[in-house]
A and B are shown apart, each in its own frame.
Chain A
Amino acid sequence: MTGPDILFGVYCPPHPQPLLSPEASDGYGKLRDAFETCRKRIEESEADLILVYSTTWPSIIGHQIQAHPEPEWVHVDDDFHFLGSMPYKFRMDVEFAEAFRDAAESRGLQSRTVAYDGFPIDTGSVVALKLLNPENRIPACIVSSNMYANRAETIVLGKSARDAIQEQGKKAVVVVVSSLSNRMFTEHIDPTEDGIHSAKDDEWNRKILEFFDDGRLEDLSQLSREIHGQIRVQKVVAYKPAWWMSATMGQHNNYTGEVLAYEALHGSGGAVVMLTPASGSVGDKEFDEDDVEHYHGDRGVLDKGAL
């Protein structure tokens, strides 16, 4: 049986500077150019769905999936409101959103679609969709990042996305919106003096980008906990984007990786990366964590005879 038709994946940052102020620094401009490269590739592809997983859309009640056919608003970022407003009107694939929800539920996840006028689509999703699909040529779908979800739940969510893509017969581009290191400066800065917050963050970012460049997405997934401990601010339980991206794209290392840009965004690490499925591999490793197919909820340990 062949798998779902995922044309390629894009990993991109959530910050608004590439959209609102690309001229403010060389780095922001390079990120904008990289978004533009991705936009062209998407336009030239046969994609009929852009599926976005955004780390700046946190959820609590399971996994929320945007299902308003034409969400429209003028968004303003909490921190970078002075850069300007982000008016948007997107085209969502409602049928896919509902199929994704059903697939998630069938794998044991709590999931629901949301379709409310004025629902606050997050900065990361707005930036990605406005730059990658400015004319709404391709319908999109956005899924939240549950703040309590850990590895098993996130991997099952990715497999649910895969199920839905296959079931719907879509040709999908998978977009993950996330920083690399996400430690920002705590003061306002001159954009021309922007830089990665620390040497340690920069070194880890570059190591992650080596993996991306080699197409080693599943290896990055396996390194998620370490990445979280080293360079992610501890505001959620885990660094989940690589888990979700790898689970959605097939859990292997067989990609052609292209790091299109890596620049600082107010101290955090912003990279635009493309991963295209390929036949070669840098070598599959043996991994020691369960490959979860179905989510059964939190496991109790006190009633298992351990005490």
Chain B
Amino acid sequence: MAKGEIVLGCLAPHPPHVVYAENPEQNEAFSEGGWETLRWGYNRLARKLKTIDYDAMVIFTPHWQTYIGTHFLGLPEFKSKSVDPVFPNIFRFNYDISVDVDLAEKMCKVAGESGIVTKMMRNPDFRIDYGTITSCHMLNPEWDRPLVTISSNRNAHYYSPEVMNEQASALGEACAKAIEESGKKVVLISSHSLSHRHFVTESPLPEDMSREHIYNHSQYVWDMKLVDLMREGKMREVIDIMPEFTEQTIAETEAGGLTWMMAAMGYPDYPAEIYGYQSVIGTGNLIAAWDPMEATREVVL
């Protein structure tokens, strides 16, 4: 059996607003659009994904928060409705997803053998979080590939962003090993914003783009610092400054997603593909991808 490999890594933010703005048939709410810079970036990355041969998407989500280790979805099908507890007015999504349970179990096993506390989630009533759904829908609206969803262990809350970095790195390395052993071609998804300070009010029409902007300028400057480093292929440096970035911008990187993905990909030293940056209710959202194949790597923006 050939070794498995990671064929693409995607930073895919999950504000439900982008799904709402797309008006897919699965979502009950209706919009007049909005957040085009992000959506069009997502559309382009989704087109690239169609040109790539892969078996499964593996997504690390901040909205399945666990404090007792890292958990993996462990049943082949989940069908239900996901309602965003924060933005229920815009996101009530009827989903029907399939899970690559073999790959999930392998990741769980390898991570466990490396000393990480793990658990398979096998309760059929479990509801899939809106982070998983938003990122996966925007990258693959046909939903024609199985997923593995990994919970975000919130040790950063108990210890520090430095500990989060260490633990997420270890998890990333374990997942890479499991993928290699699986013989599968996998797309990794790190589902989160960068800076993550929200406005606490919402305009009467959520998609009113005249009201949308970053929460404050320091958040923007920090976000751009990371984008610059990504363009330069300095992902080791990004991860090194991750604790400070996370604390300064209360970034959603606190869940460990980007660190996990970069560790799994060996801290790329090649430029990231940048697909778009835009604020959503004040938070900073970047769509980016890391393509290990030099021949297909693009300068997008």
Knowing A76-B126, A120-B85 are in contact, say whether A82-B119 is a contact too (CB < 8 A): yes
Q: Cβ of B51: which chain A residues have Cβ within 8 Å of it?
A: none
Interface size class of B (residues with CB under 8 A): 20 to 34
Q: Across the interface, do A60 and B123 meet the contact criterion of CB distance under 8 Å?
A: no
**Closest Cβ neighbor of B74 among chain A residues:** A81
Cβ of B121 and Cβ of A81 under 8 Å apart? yes
Q: Chain B: interface secondary structure?
A: loop
Closest Cβ of chain A to B247, distance in Å, is 11
Cα distance A168–B301 in the bound complex, in angstroms: 58
> For residue A233, which residues in chain B have a CB less than 8 angstroms away from its CB?
157-158
Would you give 23 A-B contacts (Cβ < 8 Å), ordered by A?
A: A60-B198, A61-B86, A61-B202, A62-B200, A78-B64, A78-B65, A82-B119, A82-B122, A84-B123, A85-B123, A116-B83, A116-B92, A118-B83, A119-B85, A122-B85, A146-B200, A148-B200, A183-B158, A186-B117, A188-B117, A233-B158, A235-B154, A235-B157
Whether A7 is near chain B, meaning CB under 8 Å from some CB there, is no
Residues of B within 8 A of A85 (CB): 123, 125
Q: Across the interface, which residues of A come within 8 angstroms of B127, CB to CB?
A: 76, 120
Question: What's the tally of chain A residues with a CB closer than 8 Å to chain B?
Answer: 35
Is A256's beta carbon under 8 Å from chain B? no
- The 8 Å CB contact of B201, one of A58, A110, A117, is A110
Which residue of the partner chain, among A116, A120, A184, contacts B68 with CB atoms under 8 Å? A184
Of the candidates A81, A84, A114, the one having the most CB atoms from chain B within 10 angstroms of its own CB is A81
> Which residues of A have CB within 8 Å of B65?
78
| B30 is an interface residue with CB less than 8 A from chain A | no
Q: How many A-B residue pairs have CB under 8 A?
A: 90
**CB-based contact A76/B66 at 8 Å:** no
CB-CB < 8 A to B153: which residues of A? 186
With A76-B126, A184-B68 known, 4 other A-B pairs at CB within 8 A are A81-B122, A114-B88, A186-B153, A233-B158
- A105-123 CB contact bits vs B (8 Å, 1 = yes)? 0000010001011111010
Cα distance A188–B112 in the bound complex, in angstroms: 13
Chain A residue contacts of B83, Cβ below 8 A? 116, 118-120
Chain A stretch 77-128: residues in CB contact (< 8 A) with chain B: 78-79, 81-82, 84-85, 110, 114, 116-120, 122
Task: Given A62-B200, A84-B123, A234-B157, answer yes or no on A184-B67 (Cβ-Cβ < 8 Å).
Answer: yes
B37 CB, nearest partner CB in chain A, Å: 22
Most B CB atoms within 10 A — which of A84, A114, A116, A185?
A116
Q: Does B231 contact A (CB under 8 A)?
A: no
A255: Cβ under 8 A from any B Cβ: no
Question: Chain B, 74-108, contact with A by CB distance < 8 Å: what is the 0/1 string?
Answer: 00000001010111110010000000000000000
Asked whether, in the complex, the Cβ of A188 is within 8 Å of the Cβ of B86, the reply is: no
Is A289 an interface residue, CB under 8 A from the partner? no
- Is B219's beta carbon under 8 Å from chain A? no
A186, B125: Cβ atoms under 8 Å? no
